[in-house]
Amino acid sequence: MESNRRNFLKHTFASATGLAAAAMLPDQLFGQGLSHTNRPEEIILPREPRLAPKEKIRFSVIGLNHGHIYGMVNSLVEGGGELVAVYSREPELLPDFTKRYPKVKIAKSEEEIIEDTSIQLVASASIPVERAPLGIRVMQSGKDYMTDKPGILTPSQLKAVKRVQQETKRIYSILYSERLSNPAAVKAGELIQAGAIGKVIQTIGMGPHRMNPKSRPDWFFDPEKAGGILCDIGSHQCDQFLFYTNSKEAEVSSSQVGNFNLPNYPNYCDFGDMNVRSSHATGYIRIDWFTPDGLGTWGDGRTFILGTEGYIEMRKYIDIAGRKGGNHLFLVNHKETKYYDCSQVYMPYGEQLVSDVVNRTETAMTQDHCFLATELAIRAQKMAYRLKG
């Protein structure tokens, strides 16, 4: 009887302990959870008053094949640029552009713009394979060049562009818009420079997109013309890795691509990822065309930045937890947990590039950084293991 009583008490105690532990999950058992008194401080950053740009330039556009051209032009105009002329080999692309910029002159040829000595910079969102050759012609004419990404597709193009850039000392700027044209990404750079998370040791970049084949031209699905998923979208993430980790040299350690859902385009890949590293930091990059229709925007682009003293997460285009709009940034370090609404943060790239054109400086982006980001993307695309989709 005594033995049975001891067993009964033993099992009863064990059961009670288990119930108590279960009742403690998750806050008490694994540490204090997030209570109403220590929720992240929410900061809505105000629009900063800005003086009018100090510098002015005249610029023109050649190539309207991608809609990014509108953001490119807007950044230049807001930064002190005067849009002079536009040329498009496809006349059907002109009406939308001239509707938005009714004062622009329609040039009859590419040469009309390149030979105009009053033009200081040419911007282009032409078919990707044509961007580097155009940039070479622009630099050789004594002008600076701003192109959409991917700004260079192959090692041979990169070699030629770097040679001409060195010969002419002109600017060849690739607009990596996921950083340079995103307020949250700009704010992340400011926080890192201020030491908010210590030394950055890793970035994780996710660039999902929604696929609608009917809305894309044929060249988009041809890697020879568009560069491939890692060369194209991956260049954004390579730029961010280099910038946030302050890496001047880097290499690709692995990469892979696959076509999982586009059987009508066998040469195209709708998924890709890659690992990059420098001597002091690593980066993981994942790109895909699998944004589901249930999401309220084209892609839930996210960037994670790990530092020795904290971390940053950006949800650039949507917060599925319910906050409106995009440009969401979360900061956690030893002192605090904060949420920033970055919608009103000023993006300085356009004004900086205009100033660089006038003063022959490198404030918007160094030329070495510009080339290294695209070189990493080109390497990753070239060496990628092809997954069976």
Report the CATH superfamily, name and number, of domain 179-348+380-387: Dihydrodipicolinate Reductase; domain 2 (3.30.360.10)
Residue 323 has pLDDT above 90, yes or no: yes
Model confidence pLDDT, tens digit, residues 63-98: 999 999 999 999 999 999 999 999 999 999 999 999
Residue 268 has pLDDT above 80, yes or no: yes
Dihedrals phi, psi of 208, to nearest 5 degrees: -80, 145
Report the CATH superfamily, name and number, of domain 57-175: NAD(P)-binding Rossmann-like Domain (3.40.50.720)
Sheet holding 282-288, edge to edge: 41-44, 337-341, 328-333, 310-315, 302-307, 200-208, 282-288, 271-277, 251-258, 385-387
**Packing angle between helix 68-78 and helix 349-359, nearest 10 degrees?**
60
Q: Residue 35: how many CA atoms within 13 Å on its side-chain side?
A: 5
What average pLDDT does the chain have?
Answer: 92
Two structure tokens written together for 56 = 């002015």
pTM (2 d.p.):
0.90
Percent of the chain with pLDDT over 90: 88
Tell me the domain boundaries of the chain. 57-175, 179-348+380-387
Domains 57-175 and 179-348+380-387 share a fold: no
